[in-house]
């Protein structure tokens, strides 16, 4: 009778000793490391950093855009007559008074005044939309969400555009503000019908009371910009609008993986000479998705652990830190 010897077969397997050992719940996966395990370390570097935001847009005819108050104060409107043609010069539509000083609001050349968005003599804040205007001709329009609005607010001086399968990239001149507003003016109040006297026209139904007229509501947030005169525009063509949101020369940057946090304030793990970690608060600046600017908190000579500190969810979001953080 032949005898089969099975034991030596395991010795011939060259993959690993663990391949012949029983597996169980306490066997660690060599490909996975616990979160927070130090994988590598980096040192901050300096580089020029430019951050951009891309917005999907399209070509539109006669788009409406908003005009905002330059300062906080009281708004006083001018009576703007209807134009006889396309204005070739800016049109002064309102004044915002602050400290007895007038601050004028103008619709740019090539656009017409569309209407008031607040009451005359109303107190407004800086950057608040107070009037709407309509561009005469083609322009690029890109709808934006609230998160993008905060990123590009005040960063509308460096904008480029590219028409899909068309001309570009080319500089795009922003009209007014990111707040795109309706073209309708504040409606006039309806005529007041005199009360019906007793005994007169009792057989006619009583007219319902007219609601108080309000300014038209906003159409949402969008950016409206115009292309150079030599760029051919086709209504409805899709485009990409790129807004430069920030520039920083020779910024102190680290990989985003080394930082807990995305904007404002964050934390990093500084590695000491004995290999221990010290979690340090830092102030964050611009980011391009790969690196992030450290505005304060580091000198640039430190070594940082990657990935960064594993903070509880409550700390990262500013919530209740007493909540459990485990699964």
Tens of pLDDT, residue by residue over 147-165, are: 777 777 666 778 999 999 9
Q: Does one domain contain both 157 and 227?
A: yes
> Would you put residue 262 in left (φ > 0), alpha (ψ -120 to 50) or beta?
alpha
User: CA-CA distance, 178 to 142, in Å (whole number)?
Assistant: 9
Does 3 reside within a domain? no
Q: Does one domain contain both 281 and 171?
A: no
Does 98 reside within a domain? yes
Does 189 reside within a domain? no
Q: Does one domain contain both 90 and 222?
A: yes
* SS3 (DSSP) at 308: coil
Q: Apex CA 154: angle with CA 144 and CA 162, to 5°?
A: 50
Q: Does one domain contain both 90 and 156?
A: yes
Does 197 reside within a domain? no
Does 233 reside within a domain? yes
Does 2 reside within a domain? no
Edge to edge, the sheet with strand 129-135 lists 64-68, 129-135, 111-116
User: CA-CA distance, 144 to 156, in Å (whole number)?
Assistant: 13
Does 293 reside within a domain? yes
- In the chain, how many domains are there? 2
Q: Does one domain contain both 136 and 224?
A: yes
- Domain of 303 in residue numbering reads as 40-50+247-317
Q: Does one domain contain both 238 and 254?
A: no
CATH number of the domain where residue 256 is located = 2.40.420.20
Count Cβ neighbours within 10 Å for each residue of 158-177 and write b for 16 or more, e otherwise: bbbbbbeeebbeeebebbbb
Q: Does one domain contain both 45 and 59?
A: no
Q: Which residues of the chain have pLDDT under 50?
A: 4-33, 185-205, 207-217, 316-327
pTM check: above 0.85: no
Does 64 reside within a domain? yes
User: CA-CA distance, 128 to 117, in Å (whole number)?
Assistant: 10
């Amino acid at each position: 009778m032949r005898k089969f010897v099975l034991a030596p077969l395991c010795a011939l397997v060259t993959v690993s000793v663990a391949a012949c050992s029983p597996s169980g719940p306490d066997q660690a996966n060599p490909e996975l490391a616990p979160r927070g395990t130090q994988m590598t370390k980096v040192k901050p570097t300096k580089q020029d950093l430019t951050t951009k935001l891309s917005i999907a847009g399209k070509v539109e005819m006669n788009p409406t855009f908003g005009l905002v108050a330059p300062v906080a104060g009281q708004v006083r409107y001018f009576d703007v007559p209807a134009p006889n043609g396309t204005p070739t010069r800016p049109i002064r539509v309102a004044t915002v008074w602050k400290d007895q000083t007038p601050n004028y609001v103008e619709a740019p050349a090539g656009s017409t005044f569309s209407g008031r968005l607040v009451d005359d003599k109303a107190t407004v804040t800086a950057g608040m939309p107070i009037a709407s205007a309509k561009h005469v001709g083609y322009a690029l329009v890109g709808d934006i969400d609230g998160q993008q609005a905060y990123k590009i607010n005040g960063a509308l001086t460096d904008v480029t555009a590219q028409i899909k399968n068309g001309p570009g990239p080319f500089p795009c001149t922003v009209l007014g503000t990111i707040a795109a507003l309706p073209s309708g003016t504040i409606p006039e109040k309806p005529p007041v019908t005199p009360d019906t006297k007793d005994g007169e026209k009792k057989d006619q139904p009583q007219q319902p009371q007219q609601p108080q007229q309000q300014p038209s509501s906003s159409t949402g947030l969008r950016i409206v910009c115009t292309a150079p005169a030599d760029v051919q525009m086709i209504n409805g063509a899709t485009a990409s609008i790129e807004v430069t949101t920030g520039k920083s020369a020779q910024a102190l940057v680290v990989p985003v993986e080394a930082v807990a946090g995305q904007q404002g304030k964050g934390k990093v793990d500084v590695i000491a000479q004995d290999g221990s970690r010290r979690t340090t608060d830092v102030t964050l600046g611009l980011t391009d998705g790969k690196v992030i600017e450290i505005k304060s908190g580091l000198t640039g000579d430190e070594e940082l652990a990657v990935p960064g500190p594993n903070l509880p969810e409550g700390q990262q979001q500013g919530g209740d830190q007493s909540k459990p953080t485990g699964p």
